[in-house]
Structure 1
Amino acid sequence: MSSYVIDSALFRDQFGTQAMRDIFSDGNTVQKWLDVEAALARVQARLGIIPQAAADEIQHKARVELIDLQALKAEMDRTSHPIVPLLRAMKKACHGDAGEYIHWGATTQDIMDTGTVLQLRDALREIDSAMRVVLDKAAALAKTHRDTTMVARSHGQQALPITFGFKAAVWVAELRRNLLRLSQMRERVLVGQFSGAVGTLAALGDQGIEVQEGLFRELGLGAPEITWHVSRDGMAELACVLGICASTLGKIAHEIYTLQKTETAELEEPFSPGKVGSSTMPHKRNPPACETVVALSRIVRSTVPLALESMMAEHERDKIVLQTEREFVSRTCSMTHAAALKMVNVLDRLSVRTRNMERNLHIQNGLLLSEAVMMHLSDALGRQEAHEIVYRVCMEVFEQGGNLKDAILNEPELKGRISAQELDRVLDPHAYIGLSGVFVDRVLDLPVPAA
């Protein structure tokens, strides 16, 4: 049994993905630390700070397969330090005195923060890619069902007609904004950390800025204007943006979950023979994928307060916040990516039950079109007077039964105000979808933000 679901052989694919497990694995974490150390050595050799031969040897040996991870872990436990044991292991691996030039002018947090940012670059690339496919699938639904009329609901109750394409286009617009957020966030989050012990680069004298800028050019990261050792707003923004992305996915999943309920039955997540809904009720066709996405979105959102709390760092260095981030950064990325991939599958093979959508347009016997009736009568009666009369008629139909058409035609105050033929046109739900199609086209015509 695993102590946490992301690592569970049984449950890990519900709460994470292989791509994220690879990115945040121990082996890749150590490799990213070594990548930073190797890049630092290359830059410093070019600037004449350390010997070129030493940098070449560091580069050659900066491979995780040369590190005994079990021995490294034992030394981390013994020293209560993550990077010093790695530096000692690298010193042993390097020929001659090359190991003496590793980590020149750096501090532990520089290596670990930058390593994390390198992992986040890979993680965000995966998340962005998955979110783009979700958007594509939602856009395809919006286009296909541009004119598929269905019930719109407000406060959980039937409200007016819309089209399913309109509903999906709302998803598309939100997903597009999330891609824009992800893109804009990268500029602030994918920034390296190389500042020395307290952020002043004192150990490198007047070459500090040159080394810093060269290092981040080498790694393809942004260079900070000043240290962010205790400025964790970037990590907080990461959690907030991923929380928003996961919440969008969760909202879409919850909408499908709701519309899959037996009494509504307008949508259904993909079903294939062998998928079991219940160990005791053979008839059940549950929505487990959507339920999982909703759960994942809740968990990701729960990391946001923790990330904001981690901004409260002390003085010039504070390991408390780093330990906190170590717990939630990989988890947040893993669950967001898992939620996105699950929604790709759901939207790709979503069952849209148009017959049930049509059925549900009529279950209130015309009450769905009360606004249309009111607006039609407003020219003659005034809007407020029309509302009062139609409201009273609707409440009578709701409480006593019957249908809105007959009730309107039999209402004494409306005699001669509207004919049965006119009323049939007004009560046609397909004729009262407003600008649903126009809005679908408007959304689908907008460009997708660049990656």
Structure 2
Amino acid sequence: MAVSLFQSAIYEAQFGDAELSEIFSDRAEAARMVRFERVLAQVEGELGVIPNASGQAIFDGLTDASVDLAALSKGVLSSGVAVPALVSELRGQLDPEHGQYLHWGATSQDVVDTAMTLAVAEALDVVEDRLRQLIDALAAKAETYETLVVAGRTRGQIATPITLGLRIAKWAQPLIALEKSLADIRGRILLVQFGGASGGNTATAPYGPQIGEGLAKALGLSAAAPWHVDRTGLVNLASWLLQISVALSKFAGDLILHMRSEIREVSAGAGGGSSTMPQKSNPVGPETIRTLASLAKAAHAGLADAADPAEDRDGGQWPIEWALLPQIFIAVGASLAHAQVLAETLTANEDQINAILAANDGVMAEQISFMLAEHMPRPEAQALVKAASKTGKPLRVSLPELCEQDLDWDDLFDPQKSAAPCREIAEAIFAGR
């Protein structure tokens, strides 16, 4: 049994994400923490908080700094965080005259939170790119099937005709809204952290805000007041990621339903085989997305639970973020990759779709009752269609038998009438981009 599906020799290929795992790797985290220390020294030197020569010496001297991850691990055993050991490692690579100014006025959380934020910036770029590609793929499929009428289903029952194009557009609809809201999410989370021991910048007063602004500019982040105990930005990020996961789970869940053996309206992805039943083609891709959605929900719950640190800094809640933030990113990133394959390979089984429509002509009941209301009172039209539906005969047979008026029944029973309004709605959904 793997400790983590995301980093398992057996399961990682299916549930993990190599690109995002690298962003959140120990090696990458150490490099980002070194980057923070280098830039901090340079900024403080330019402001005169430390000697400018020392600031530049630290910045230049740690350009190719090597970090012993094993030493950081030992440091965590005593400090609960890697930064003290990191600072010790880096000072050993500097002239003592300059090394004494390393990490000047900063605290461990400044380093870790800013390094985390830099990782989030990289990871969001990956997610945004995949989200855009997926919406593009769904838009192309929606256009391909904009006039293909299928049986709409509500509460598990065949309801009214819609187009496959509209169904696909509905899968994309929440993703489009999330794509638009990403700028706001970046604004809430991509913030530099610099507050010192208790978030008051007392060791670097009165230069604290200027140091934060200099750090933000050099690191490509936004300046902000210290947010050691304000984790709402992180919760907003986790909620945004969870919404992507939920939207993808809806897409995957619908595919599982419509790819069932007795329905087979569509196919998507490469079906998985059974160990004992050669006739089966299991919906492995959609099932994986559903699994990842459950993992994302669990990670989101944990991140929300960790968002109430005690007093002015908290060492107990904080590590929960280190564990779960990479997990929710990887769950979402892997889901997007699987969804891309499904969207690109989505194919309609038109013969089966038409057969289902023909065998369930009651799908036209609502539409016909409104059309009949042009010839009789609405309650009478509804009662007529309801009575015809209960005869046990196909509606196309029973309704003309019960109706006294001579109508163009072929026209009334034409499901293609649904195509135009469905196409308009699908186009409106994608126009929202």
Aligned residues: CA RMSD: 1.7
- Aligned counterpart, 1:159: 159
Do the aligned partners of 2:272 and 2:283 also contact (CA within 8 Å) in 1? no
CA distance in 1, matches of 2:371, 2:345: 40
- Aligned counterpart, 1:410: 401
Amino acid at match of 2:423: G
Further displaced range: 10-19 or 112-121: 10-19
1:427 maps onto 2:418 in alignment: no
- Aligned counterpart, 2:37: 37
Amino acid at match of 2:371: H
Do the aligned partners of 1:139 and 1:169 also contact (CA within 8 Å) in 2? yes
- Aligned counterpart, 1:327: 323
Shift of 1:314: 1.4
Do the aligned partners of 2:171 and 2:250 also contact (CA within 8 Å) in 1? no
- Give the 3 Å change call, closer, same or farther, for CA 178–65 of structure 1 in structure 2: same
CA distance in 2, matches of 1:227, 1:308: 20
Shift of 1:374: 1.0
- Aligned counterpart, 1:126: 126
CA distance in 2, matches of 1:137, 1:81: 43
CA distance in 2, matches of 1:58, 1:22: 27
- Aligned counterpart, 2:143: 143
Do the aligned partners of 1:30 and 1:64 also contact (CA within 8 Å) in 2? no
CA distance in 1, matches of 2:65, 2:16: 25
- The 5-angstrom pairing of residues 144-293 of structure 1 reads 144-224=144-224, 226-271=225-270, 276-293=272-289
TM-score, scaled to structure 2: 0.96
CA distance in 2, matches of 1:119, 1:379: 62
Shift of 1:434: 5.1
CA distance in 2, matches of 1:112, 1:79: 13
- The 5-angstrom pairing of residues 363-442 of structure 1 reads 363-364=359-360, 366-397=361-392, 402-411=393-402, 414-415=403-404, 417-419=405-407, 422-433=408-419, 435-442=421-428
Shift of 1:320: 2.0
- Give the 3 Å change call, closer, same or farther, for CA 176–103 of structure 1 in structure 2: same
Do the aligned partners of 2:5 and 2:11 also contact (CA within 8 Å) in 1? yes
CA distance in 2, matches of 1:64, 1:330: 26
Shift of 1:209: 1.1
Unmatched 5+ residue regions in structure 1? Answer: none
Shift of 1:345: 1.1
Shift of 1:435: 0.4
Shift of 1:267: 1.2
Aligned residue-pair number: 433
1:353-402 Cα shifts (integer Å, max 9, x gaps)? 122111111112x21111122112213331122212211221233xxxx2
- Give the 3 Å change call, closer, same or farther, for CA 96–312 of structure 1 in structure 2: closer
CA distance in 1, matches of 2:152, 2:78: 62
Shift of 1:307: 2.2
- Give the 3 Å change call, closer, same or farther, for CA 348–6 of structure 1 in structure 2: same
- Give the 3 Å change call, closer, same or farther, for CA 276–209 of structure 1 in structure 2: closer
**Runs of at least 4 residues off by over 6 Å:** none
Do the aligned partners of 1:133 and 1:344 also contact (CA within 8 Å) in 2? yes
Do the aligned partners of 2:265 and 2:353 also contact (CA within 8 Å) in 1? yes
Do the aligned partners of 1:27 and 1:64 also contact (CA within 8 Å) in 2? no
Amino acid at match of 1:324: I
Further displaced range: 294-303 or 128-137: 294-303
1:338 maps onto 2:334 in alignment: yes
Do the aligned partners of 1:193 and 1:227 also contact (CA within 8 Å) in 2? yes
1:358 maps onto 2:354 in alignment: yes
CA distance in 1, matches of 2:64, 2:159: 60
CA distance in 2, matches of 1:294, 1:117: 28
Further displaced range: 244-253 or 74-83: 74-83
Shift of 1:63: 5.6
- Give the 3 Å change call, closer, same or farther, for CA 70–217 of structure 1 in structure 2: same
CA distance in 2, matches of 1:76, 1:308: 24
1:183-203 Cα shifts (integer Å, max 9, x gaps)? 211000111110111111111
Amino acid at match of 2:282: N
- Give the 3 Å change call, closer, same or farther, for CA 346–357 of structure 1 in structure 2: same
Do the aligned partners of 2:105 and 2:203 also contact (CA within 8 Å) in 1? yes
CA distance in 2, matches of 1:276, 1:310: 38
- The 5-angstrom pairing of residues 7-86 of structure 1 reads 7-62=7-62, 66-86=66-86
1:154-196 Cα shifts (integer Å, max 9, x gaps)? 1111111111111112223321101112221100011111011
CA distance in 1, matches of 2:180, 2:46: 38
Identity %: 27
Do the aligned partners of 1:195 and 1:227 also contact (CA within 8 Å) in 2? yes
Further displaced range: 187-196 or 171-180: 171-180
CA distance in 2, matches of 1:231, 1:132: 30
Give the secondary structure class of the aligned counterpart of 2:285: helix
Shift of 1:65: 5.8
Amino acid at match of 1:394: S
Unmatched 5+ residue regions in structure 2? Answer: none
Shift of 1:277: 1.5
1:250-274 Cα shifts (integer Å, max 9, x gaps)? 1111111111001110111223xxx
